[in-house]
């Protein structure tokens, strides 16, 4: 039995945050009914066409779901929505701020329909306050949360290469829903979650926030290096290659000096015998490290680092990650069906094998509309009329 078998999720979702949360619930066995706009569907379907004609975002976020197209602004659409919610366990939505309430479905009305419903709202800034109606996308939240101020180089801030604000919100929605299911098993009542992207990403900003507010200095933008630990980051080696490694404690620093730099006296040098001193005196230490490493190949440096239990890596491309030997050794890849044929997908980190995964193909727009409506008691003639009226 899958962990969430028997759990029904209705998701008014688009883009990344809500689909990421609901996909993880689907992975664990929940039945997820994804409500999409008639005709166009989730706009993330059209972000690109790189996966054999499908959007890379959509493929990533929408396996094992059922797609129901529904115009909830219409009277029949609202009626169907209420019917869906009447025996649902979870509602997830990340429509524009206030959209669900304008449709007549505030929290009170939703709990009047089903008092055991777990309601999960995902928005940029939350449901209250001066920013409640402000539009938000991932870049906007990366800027507003301060992430951009510490990411990039001295010359220019850079956004993270993935949608970290959306992903953070989706993860907290996912974990919040799971904890709410446990709570409901005790109280027999539903609850309301109000997940904001700003607060979700803000939780991840804890260390630089404390460092800045209580240390009275802004962390520097240091590219792939670390603002408060050294050595930590990329270093040039022979043949114009680059290696990455991180020294996290004084034991590792001593090993590094003795076996890689071959200069044990550096370990106790008053300029470098504590991490904070190494950070402060980076301009003196960096050329010493680089002059020792540049004589060796990347393979030799990585081998020495590994022998001395110092964390290390080379910079992988996405294709190299796709072919990572550790993922292959641990059988983390499986074949996933899509409307354009099978593609490779990674197992969710919490699962150990494909047998633990609820897996059905990525749906076409509205692929399950008719079967879902039939379950609700709508007959073929009524369904055809809904389709002709552009309600589904």
- Active site residues per annotation: 226
133-136 contacts: CB < 8 A, separation 24 or more?
A: 133/97, 133/98, 134/97, 135/96, 135/97, 136/197, 136/198
Residue 260 near residue 295 (C-beta atoms within 8 A): no
Tokens coding 385: 């009329």
In sequence order, which residues have a C-beta less than 8 Å from that of residue 302 and are 6 or more positions away?
A: 243, 312, 313, 314
Residue 285 near residue 278 (C-beta atoms within 8 A): yes
What is the b/e burial string over 336-362, where b = at least 16 CB atoms within 10 angstroms of the residue's CB?
bebeeeeeebebeeebeeeebbbbeeb
Segment holding 167, helix H or strand E: helix 164-187
372-375 contacts: CB < 8 A, separation 24 or more?
A: 372/33, 372/66, 372/68, 372/84, 373/68, 373/80
**DSSP three-state, residue 106:** coil
**Helical segments of 216-368, H only:** 250-255, 265-268, 275-280, 282-293, 298-307, 318-322, 325-329
Smallest CA-to-CA distance from 256 within 272, 280, 242, 276 is with: 272
Whole-angstrom Cα distance, residue 185 to residue 293? 59
Whole-angstrom Cα distance, residue 181 to residue 156? 44
Tokens coding 383: 């369904």
What value, to the nearest 5°, has the Cα angle with vertex 139 and ends 48 and 18?
65
Whole-angstrom Cα distance, residue 18 to residue 274? 44
């Amino acid at each position: 039995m899958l962990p969430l078998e028997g759990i029904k999720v209705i998701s008014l979702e688009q883009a990344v945050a809500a689909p990421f949360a609901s996909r993880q619930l689907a992975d664990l066995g929940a039945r997820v009914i994804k409500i999409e706009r008639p005709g166009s569907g989730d706009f993330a379907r059209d972000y690109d066409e790189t996966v054999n004609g499908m959007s890379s975002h959509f493929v990533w976020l929408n396996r094992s779901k059922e797609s129901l197209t529904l115009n909830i602004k219409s009277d029949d659409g609202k009626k169907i929505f209420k019917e869906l919610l009447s025996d649902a366990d979870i509602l997830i939505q990340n429509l524009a701020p206030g959209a669900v309430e304008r449709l007549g479905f505030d929290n009170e009305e939703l709990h009047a329909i089903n008092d055991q419903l777990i309601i999960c709202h995902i928005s940029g800034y939350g449901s209250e306050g001066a920013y409640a109606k402000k539009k938000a996308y991932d870049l906007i939240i990366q800027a507003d949360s301060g992430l951009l101020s510490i990411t990039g180089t001295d010359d220019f801030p850079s956004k993270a290469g993935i949608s970290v604000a959306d992903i953070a919100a989706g993860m907290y929605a996912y974990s919040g829903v799971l904890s709410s299911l446990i709570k409901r098993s005790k109280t027999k009542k539903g609850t309301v979650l109000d997940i904001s992207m700003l607060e979700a990403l803000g939780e991840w900003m804890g260390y630089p926030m404390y460092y800045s507010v209580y240390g009275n200095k802004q962390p520097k933008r240091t590219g792939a290096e670390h603002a408060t630990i050294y050595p930590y980051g990329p270093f040039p080696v022979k043949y114009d290659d680059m290696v990455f490694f991180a020294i996290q404690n004084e034991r590792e620093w001593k090993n590094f000096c003795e076996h890689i730099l071959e200069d044990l006296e550096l370990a106790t040098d008053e300029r470098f015998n504590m991490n904070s001193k190494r950070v402060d005196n980076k301009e003196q230490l960096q050329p010493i490290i680089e002059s020792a490493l540049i004589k060796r190949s990347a393979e030799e440096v990585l081998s020495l680092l590994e022998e001395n239990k110092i964390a290390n890596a080379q910079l992988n491309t996405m294709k190299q990650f796709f072919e990572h030997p550790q993922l292959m050794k641990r059988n983390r890849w499986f074949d996933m069906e899509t409307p354009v044929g099978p593609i490779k997908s990674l197992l969710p980190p919490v699962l150990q094998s494909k047998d633990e995964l609820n897996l059905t193909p990525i749906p076409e727009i509205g692929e399950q509309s008719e079967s879902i409506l039939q379950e609700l008691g709508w007959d073929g003639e009524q369904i055809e009329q809904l389709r002709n009226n552009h309600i589904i």
